[in-house]
Amino acid sequence: MSYVALYRKARPQTFDEVKGQDHIVTTLRNQIKTGRLQHAYLFCGTRGTGKTTVAKILARAVNCEHPENGSPCNRCETCRNIQSGSSMNVIEIDAASNNGVDNIREIIEEVQYRPTEGKYKVYIIDEVHMLSPGAFNALLKTLEEPPSYVIFILATTEVGKVPITIRSRCQRYDFHRIDVDTIVDRMRELTDREGIAAEEKALRFVARAADGSLRDGLSLLDQCMAFYMGEELTYEKVLTALGEADTAVFGGLVRSASRGDAGRAIRIFEKQISHGMEISQFVNDFIWYLRNLLMVATAPPEEAGDHVDASKEQMEEFLDMTKMVTPETVMRYIRLLSDLQNQMRYATNRRVLTEVALIRMARPQTGVRTGDVLDRLRQVETKLDEITSGSYALPVGQAQAAGAAAGGDPYENLPPEEPQKVLEHAAPEDLKQICAEWRLILGSLPNGYGYSKQILEKSQPQYDAANPDNHTLYIECPNGMADHLVTNQDLKQVLAGIIEKRYGKATEIELHTRKDTTTNLQNIGVDQILNDPSKIAIPIEVEEGEEEF
């Protein structure tokens, strides 16, 4: 016998088994027990919340020979026939593929005949919003005054597309998204039944990924169980099976952006991409993480748990994060990522757009919107507060100028000068890293070096691999284009300064053309870097208390 999907195997058969929709189940049960049945029902709600399942249970319950507390017994011949699909009294129609006027006319002709068994003929029209305008018009009169033995159950995920004339003729029931705890309880019940060991943290992550849909949650759980057949289902295994990112990854991105460290944010993102994370899903999950952070940052501490479904550890992480970023900054991040989602609908290179968005998050000076300007003003206000409290020290040059302007001794009350730090020379491994990140270095060139940057982007950085005492970085420029760069000392000093600031290493820059190639040089071409992600997977230093992603 072929395998049956977990969500189909676990489909509720009675009202008692329906989870998370007590307000609907109670009403329908009371109607069945008292005989106050409606002629038309409209079930609305997001996917996987039980609309079709409840409709099928209702269809059996109204025809059941021995109902039990308003639920079908599932043992009588009528219930068994409906469950097997052989009953002519319950007709299920998919409006997505049967949406024409002729399909509705067939229903209108059929309702004239009484049921062959049971009390009612039940028509379940799924995704009813897909019907054409002509089909809706054809259904109107019959839906308003059907025969006493006919019940219509219309189900839809987009109730706004159902004409108001149809909605007004039905009794409407809104199916709620199912909360995480309910989904976890159901999954725990099924894993115990299947003999599968699973961590609570793993099930909770799957439940959150289901986004209120129990069917989606069971499908994801089935996927994870198949990926690790016969093994215990752990949190890390769920992340691998679903290709999801841990929330700690998003925490690292927020910390990097708040400190202005765009490079580290890019490296975190690149590692997730190399692990197979789908970019659209990554952005969507990041927005949801920021939403939870915003709720924690704006709600009173005692109410934060009511708005965010998170573990104790995650809630502590959110609370620590609120000390680093303001709600306004988090809203700016959400706005940037929301704009990114809109752009990705029509883009072919989503990775580049995402990297640009991460850089803009870390550098508000790149934006011109109100939120960007406010972020820059908040940075200024932070420095002003430090100056007011006496914890901010002016740079030596500014302190001298301030003292001279006041008419006093410009060198009075200055902190003692720290001894100038002597930088270590770049070792071959450092030069190799510099070559691999050459494009990032060129991105830091100040304005005014546009033409030189264009030439350097076509150049190849090299180093002397045969001589470990040679700390020179050789830049091999295209012939006939870079003769004027070879003697440009100012450009060499600027490049050396960028490398010193970025890597904390001293190096000498030598520009030459390809006709002057030095022997024993190792080079990494730009195209090779872009086509081989392993060349930019450089180990990075992690600050104390932070994890490497």
Q: Is the pLDDT of residue 303 over 80?
A: no
- pLDDT of 299 > 90? The answer is no
Strands of 383-471 (E only): list them. 424-425, 460-464
DSSP 178: P
- What's the chain's Rg over C-alpha atoms? 33
Poorest-confidence range of 108-112, 130-134, 497-501? 497-501
Residues 462 and 522: their CA atoms lie apart, in Å, by: 5
> Please, are residues 334 and 290 in contact by the beta-carbon 8 Å criterion?
yes
Contact 76, 66 (CB under 8 A): yes
Taking 60 as the threshold, does the pLDDT of residue 415 lie above it?
A: no
Distance CA(344)–CA(338), nearest Å, equals 10
The CA distance from 189 to 15, in Å, is 17
Give 227-257 pLDDT, tens digit per residue.
Answer: 888 788 888 888 778 766 667 788 889 988 8
Alpha helices (H) along 443-488: 450-457, 483-486
Tokens describing residue 426: 């770049």
Residue 74, helix vs strand vs coil: coil
Q: What are 500-525's pLDDT values in tens digits?
A: 877 777 788 877 776 555 445 555 44
Percent of the chain with pLDDT over 70: 76
* pLDDT category of residue 545 using cuts at 50, 70 and 90: low
Could you tell me the pTM of the whole model?
0.57
Provide CB contacts within 8 A for 336, sequence distance 6+.
357, 360, 361
Element (H, E) at 152: strand 150-156
Residue 67 has pLDDT above 50, yes or no: yes
The model's pLDDT over 207-226, given as tens digits with 9 standing for 90+, comes to: 888 878 889 889 989 888 88
Indicate the SS3 state at residue 507.
Answer: coil
Statement: residue 454 has pLDDT above 90: no
Q: What φ, ψ does residue 91 adopt, rounded to 5°?
A: -115, 120
Q: Across the beta sheet with 521-523, what order do the strands follow?
A: 508-513, 472-477, 460-464, 521-523
Helix axes 327-344 and 247-258, enclosed angle (nearest 10) = 110
Q: Give the confidence band of 56 by pLDDT, cuts at 50, 70, 90.
A: very high
Spatial neighbors of 156 by CB under 8 A, at least 6 apart, are 42, 43, 44, 127, 128, 129, 162
Q: Report all structural domains of the chain as residue ranges with CATH numbers, in order of start.
A: 6-175 (3.40.50.300), 180-242 (1.10.8.60), 247-373 (1.20.272.10), 424-536 (3.30.300.180)
pLDDT at residue 184 above 80? yes
The enclosing H or E element of 101 equals helix 101-110
Residue 480 to residue 507: CA distance in whole angstroms: 26
- Evaluate if residue 58 carries a pLDDT over 90: yes
End-to-end CA distance of the chain: 44
| Cα(471)–Cα(344) distance, integer angstroms | 43
- Residue 461, Ramachandran bin (φ over 0: left; ψ between -120 and 50: alpha; else beta): beta
pLDDT of 14 higher than 60: yes
Contact 73, 67 (CB under 8 A): yes
The CA distance from 504 to 239, in Å, is: 36
